[in-house]
Structure 1
Amino acid sequence: MSTNPLVSLYQDLKQNFNAGPSGLKRTGEILAQLKLGLIQAGLLVPQGEHNLEDLSVARDILEIGAFWSIRSKDVPSFDRYFSQLQTFYKDYSQVLPPSPREYAIKGLNLIRLLTQNRIADFHTTLESLPAEALHDNPYLKHPVNLERWLMEGSYSKVWSARNEAPAEEYKYFVDSLMGTIRNEIASCEEAAYNTLPIKDACTLLFFTNRSDLLTFAQQRKWEVDLMNEQIQFARKGEETLEIPKQKVIVASLNYARELEQIV
């Protein structure tokens, strides 16, 4: 990692990452090059003794990669970066200074588990984290609160949590959670109502504007009556049960004959 090309790339990576959306594409390109460099230096998944500065830089590169993945809406990529970081967070925790990004990334992983409905994995991961951090660290408190509100059915609090996210990347997963919640609420509305005013549907589904609701309604195949400001829910046809009449008649006649023979 001490070679000039890698040092130059690392500086370029930080510059583009801090540039925000305008540097997103270039950040991904640089990450691909730096990961090759980490592999060649034995630092992607390090083992044994290494220069502490190299380990710190390698960890920083992977952490930037984790955040870049969320900004790029690439959850599988985030999973890979998170897995690679575990060696630094666990095996080298005694020799490396704490990373200011560590809890932010661990919090993102917790919300990812929630969005995938992996509740057992969520609680197992919580048990591996320091108890004081769960109460005091904002990056960990946020997913803990989300999980509690989901279990309570307090969906309005989940919606409000988007504005309270401790980092911009958290909003991506909160939006994903809200998509799941909206579909659950929509299924309940379809079962409970024939029609619903558009205004009420917006409120129930946590939409802030009509256009988003109308797009959602189209996806659910709802009929929208703009003249009367109503939504007509698609009704599923009642299932009909076919009765095998001929078989029933034959069976009844046979049963009657058997009764006559007994009498």
Structure 2
Amino acid sequence: MALTDIKTLAQELSKEYNAPNPDLAKCGQYLSKLKIALIELQYLTHEGKHNNIEELTLARDVLEIGAQWSVRTKDIPSFERYMAQLQTYYNDYSELPTSPLKYNLIGLNLLCLLSQNRISDFHTALETIESQELLNNPAIQHPIKLEQSLMEGSYNRVWSSRADVPSKEYLFFIDILMDTIRNEIASCSEKAYSSLPLKDAGTLLFFTNMEDILNFAKERNWKVNPVEQKAYFHSDADERISIPANQIIKQTMFYARDMDRIV
């Protein structure tokens, strides 16, 4: 594909993706064609020597749309691949003008690692970012504060963070985090209580409507009493374990007689 055709296709991708109601399937088709074209020109493999600022910026912009598109289509492996390719443009091409999406995407990547409980990778990624940018950029600060809240067990702050996300793409990974948190809270509740009123369970689990509470209860195999409006938890204590009492008593007496003979 000629470079002029790549530029035209990239413009069509940008126009479609930034439309009020973008056709994500069409964006995916554009991205597939552009990735093949950029690979042919060695802008994704970086085997050739590139010094054309306009063309490098074009390739970077396509990858940035691809990363955002991956989040909106809930494709985490695709997002990780786009971010891996973007690292070269962010770290190795210092001559490129800074992208306005750079720190938003780096923050998204941090949040992606956090949502998968990849804490060591999260801190490794932080070490590659300049300290001044860490302190000042809201997109980077957001996942850092979330990680601190998780370490402190302040799950209400994680939930509240939905209200001030740097971009709507952040909500996807926060929802994954909240699913993990809810299951952790549910496991603790099952051990601490035999039952809970549905309203209280909803408050604990950060649910805002009854349908979500009932769906979650079904996933956890809770027994819901609609009359009492209570959820009853399955307890390990409910499982009767058969203990061969007579056999144990006989063995104990046998050992006691042996001890008498030894003494």
TM-score strictly above 0.5: yes
Aligned to 1:85: 86
Aligned to 1:109: 109
C-alpha contact 2:50 2:56 (8 A) present in aligned 1: no
Show CA shifts across 1:211-247 (max 9, x none).
Answer: 1111111111111112121111122334636458558
Aligned to 1:56: 57
2:199 is equivalent to residue 215 of structure 1: no
- Deviation of 1:258 after TM superposition, in Å, equals 6.8
Q: 1:253 to 1:53 in 2, by over 3 A?
A: same
Aligned to 2:41: 41
Give runs of aligned pairs for residues 94-133 of structure 1, distance below 5 A.
94-133=94-133
C-alpha contact 2:7 2:58 (8 A) present in aligned 1: no
Three-state SS of the structure 1 residue aligned to 2:25 is helix
**What is the identity percentage for the equivalent residue pairs of Structure 1 and Structure 2?**
47
Give the TM-score of the pair, scaled to structure 1: 0.92
Aligned residues: 261
C-alpha contact 2:196 2:230 (8 A) present in aligned 1: yes
Aligned to 2:172: 172
Aligned to 2:14: 14
Write out the 4+ residue segments of structure 1 that deviate beyond 6 Å after TM superposition. Answer: none
**Unmatched segments (≥5 aa) in structure 1:** none
Three-state SS of the structure 1 residue aligned to 2:224 is strand
Show CA shifts across 1:151-195 (max 9, x none).
Answer: 111111100101110100000001110000000111111111112
Q: Which letter does structure 2 place at the counterpart of 1:165?
A: V
Show CA shifts across 1:1-37 (max 9, x none).
Answer: 8633212211110011102553211111100000000
Aligned to 1:233: 233
Question: C-alpha separation between the residues in 1 aligned to 2:199 and 2:255?
Answer: 62
Question: C-alpha separation between the residues in 2 aligned to 1:120 and 1:105?
Answer: 19
Q: 1:253 to 1:208 in 2, by over 3 A?
A: closer
Q: Which letter does structure 1 place at the counterpart of 2:107?
A: G
C-alpha contact 2:113 2:121 (8 A) present in aligned 1: yes
RMSD: 2.0
Show CA shifts across 1:186-213 (max 9, x none).
Answer: 1111111112111111111100111111
